[in-house]
Structure 1
Amino acid sequence: MIRGVLLIALLVVAASVVGLGIARGSGYVLIAYEGFRYESSLWVFLAALLVLWLAFYLLRVLLRVLGVSSALANPWSRRHRSRRGRKASEQGLLELAEGRWSPALKHLRLAAEQDPQPLMYYLGAARAANQLGDYESSDNLLERALTRQPRAELAVALTHAELQQARGNLQGAHDTLSAMLERHPHHPEVLRRLLDLQRQRGDSAAVVGLLPELRKQKVLADSELRDIERQAWRAALLDASLHGHEQGDTLQPLHNTWQQMGQAHRNDPELLLIYTEQLRQAGAEAQAEETLRAALKKHYEPRLVELYGQLRGSDTGRQLQSAEAWLSEHAEDPVLLRALARMSLHHQLWGKARDYYEASLGFSRDPQTCAELARLLNRLGETERSNQLFQEGLGLFNSRTPLPAPR
């Protein structure tokens, strides 16, 4: 409303100014150029200019209207192609998210051909083709994406490795990621993907090899990295023992793996337990006993004491004395007392073994301790007490491992 009033006011002022100008004089305009000569009054000349400007403006509007009309009428016009591309991209992305692979492949492929930045559409179409089992089309779409956007090599390669991994082609995924690691040595995502792949393949040596770079680049949180590192070394120790059995030399691969570990990991109770247990299974009980005794002198750990009591070192008397020395600080540890009872049995110290078993049961009614003391008492001829302990141990075991309810 206000704008209309202002416009009318301006028109009135302009007409007044023009009227005053005409009243004061008509003016004179002369344009002469070689043989051309134009003469008119000033106001006629200005009116002619105004008419020419209006004619030019109307012609532009007419041409624009005709162009829009032809674009609307022509199904292959740029306008229609752009609209089809937008529609295909919207539908394709929605279908991809909903798991409708076949229509998603069709629409995303169309959107990729229409869009000047087609990377995301090609990658989505490749995923859809991969889900449909059309691996050749999937790879071709990735190649097309790389051709259209060469600078997106890493993104295309990561997607390719992911799809190869989904197909079960772990070696192909490994080759793809290894090539990218050579071209981008410190890239966090390449390192993370390669770590996940090596863990899936069960290649503990490769995981261990990646750990220094993972820590340096801070790809994972420290706690997560420590867990992965422990799992990798655990698997490496078990693999070394297995390979040793296969090669007929059980101990050397195990020793080599153990020496490759840092001191912090050689002091880790869980890894130490695995190492000494593998030594025990390989018949190297004396070496396992020495390793555990040295570790327990530094740090007392009940899990290690449990295994220590099951070993027979080269000097069982010294082994027993070393364990009894720990009683000064851990006299109420039922695991240590049971271990001492077992070592006493090795020396046929029946009374001493019985006392240690009884002391262990005084701190913890463990079914294993009950069973071992029951066997000892049976050997000593105390049948009634032996049967009582067997029954008690069986009851404790059943209470800890309840039977499934009948159907």
Structure 2
Amino acid sequence: MRALLIVLFVAVLAGTLLSLGMAEDPGYIRISIGSWLIETNFWVGMSLVVLAALALHWLLGLVRGLRLSPGAMGQWWRNSGRRRAQRRTTQGLLELAEGNWGRARKLLEQGAGNAETPLINYLSAAEAAHQQGDQEEADRFLRLAWESTAGSDLAVGLTQARLQLNAGRNEQALATLLRLRRNSPNHPHVMRQLANVYRNLEDWQALSELLPELRRQAALDESSLTVLEQEVWLNVLDQAAERLERQPPEQRNLDHLDRVWDQLPPPRRNDESVVHHYANHLARLGAESRAESLLRKVLRHSWSDLLINLYGRIQGPREDEQLLAAEGWLKERPNNPELLLALGRISLRNRLWGKAREYLETSLGVRHSQETAAELCRLYAHLGRYEDSVRLLRQGVLEHHGLPRLPMPEPRRRSGAPAR
């Protein structure tokens, strides 16, 4: 407070003396510079000098405060560039998230030069170009991303493979992923992407060889891996069978199909869908006895309605033994409609017409099935029970097509000449 009072006192005293001096004698200042002539009174000139001194003092203080050496000026300029790059990058990522591909691509590329992480800019710009359908530009941005950051091979390669997959360029994606796998053989995401490529290319054999590695590295959760494993082995079995079917029957050798079966992991050998495929292929390729033996073995330990249906369609080497085996299962499952259908068919093979009819009628009574009705309809026709056969046939046709209930005319009874 005392210092403030002193300053105020000095300022008032100086102002008073200055005003008295200006009133007494304003003085005169004349400055001539070349063709320029400046004239003013003494006090105005002194005021300008004081103001100029103050401005110079402020400017020197600013220079000292900023320490504006050439290096500091460069640092200031670089920081300014980074801030602009950060703003463009942030805005570009927002535009990318909103689906504004063109603007996102432009902002991300502009911000890449001074960005702290140009890899993010170029990878995101590649995504924007890909979304625009410009694959050449996407590849260019990926190349810039790889050049911008050391050690980015894996990140750039995975992004490239993903964009290639999305664009349907499966062969190129495969080449990219195989290169990445050579450098990172145990990387889970590389293996997941590689599995997707093999699946798109329907290269089931290669995918079957990748499955153990996918399981070992936990690249997929157990449920997804089980579904994929089942799909792979079903297709491997189908491809092996298709190759054999294209060969003349006398030249067929089932060794290749058997080798595929031997390669199956133990859980898949108990998978009803896989067992059904293998047994069905054996039967179609002329090895019904082997198919019947396999199904009997599996059904003895693990029941499956899908497999018992196939068992009833296959002719074993001994029809009587096949019937005895199926009737043994009936003791534990007396009302299983699929087992009763299979027993009806096996009874037909044993020429036990009455027993076959009873099994089929019982199956149809437990569950109405188009397949069982068709089998019984055929048997009725061969037994001479045409009305029952026609009834089942008509009932099956009406139910199959889901016709609505509508009034119908009564059939006319005619006497005399048959109707034309």
Same fold (TM over 0.5): yes
> For residues 311-361 of structure 1, what are the alpha-carbon distances to aligned partners after superposition, in whole Å with 9 as ceiling and x for unaligned?
112222222222122122122112111111111112222112112112222
Structure 1 match to 2:358: 355
2: distance between equivalents of 1:384 and 1:179? 70
2: distance between equivalents of 1:389 and 1:204? 44
Relative to its length, the structure with more helix (as a share) is 1
Consecutive unaligned residues of structure 1, counting only runs of 5 or more, are: 1-7, 16-54, 403-407
Structure 2 match to 1:40: none
Residue 255 of structure 1 pairs with residue 258 of structure 2: yes
Residue 285 of structure 1 pairs with residue 272 of structure 2: no
**Correspondent of 1:294 among 282, 292, 297:** 297
> For residues 214-257 of structure 1, what are the alpha-carbon distances to aligned partners after superposition, in whole Å with 9 as ceiling and x for unaligned?
22222222122111111111121112222333455473332221
Could you tell which deviates more after superposition, 271-280 or 359-368? 359-368
CA contact (8 A) 1:366 1:396 kept: no
Structure 1 match to 2:165: 165
> For residues 173-194 of structure 1, what are the alpha-carbon distances to aligned partners after superposition, in whole Å with 9 as ceiling and x for unaligned?
1121122122112212212222
Structure 1 match to 2:62: 61
Q: Percent identity over the alignment?
A: 38
CA contact (8 A) 2:82 2:116 kept: no
* RMSD, aligned α-carbons: 3.0
Q: Which letter does structure 2 place at the counterpart of 1:304?
A: L
TM-score computed with the length of structure 2 as normaliser: 0.75
CA shift, 1:79, in A, is 5.5
Q: Which letter does structure 2 place at the counterpart of 1:59?
A: L
2: distance between equivalents of 1:167 and 1:225? 25
Consecutive unaligned residues of structure 2, counting only runs of 5 or more, are: 8-55, 405-420
CA contact (8 A) 1:302 1:335 kept: yes
Residue 132 of structure 1 pairs with residue 132 of structure 2: yes
Matches within 5 A, 1:194-273: 194-246=194-246, 249=252, 251-273=254-276
Structure 1 match to 2:391: 388
Describe the SS at the equivalent of 2:117: coil
Q: Which letter does structure 2 place at the counterpart of 1:61?
A: L
2: distance between equivalents of 1:164 and 1:386? 59
Structure 2 match to 1:52: none
Rg larger for: 2
CA shift, 1:87, in A, is 3.1
Structure 2 match to 1:366: 369
CA shift, 1:171, in A, is 1.5
Describe the SS at the equivalent of 1:151: coil
1: distance between equivalents of 2:396 and 2:138? 62
Describe the SS at the equivalent of 1:326: helix
Structure 2 match to 1:25: none
CA contact (8 A) 1:241 1:278 kept: yes
CA contact (8 A) 1:180 1:190 kept: yes
> For residues 24-62 of structure 1, what are the alpha-carbon distances to aligned partners after superposition, in whole Å with 9 as ceiling and x for unaligned?
xxxxxxxxxxxxxxxxxxxxxxxxxxxxxxx99973424
Residues paired across the two proteins, number = 348
Residue 186 of structure 1 pairs with residue 186 of structure 2: yes
Could you tell which deviates more after superposition, 295-304 or 385-394? 385-394
CA shift, 1:397, in A, is 2.9
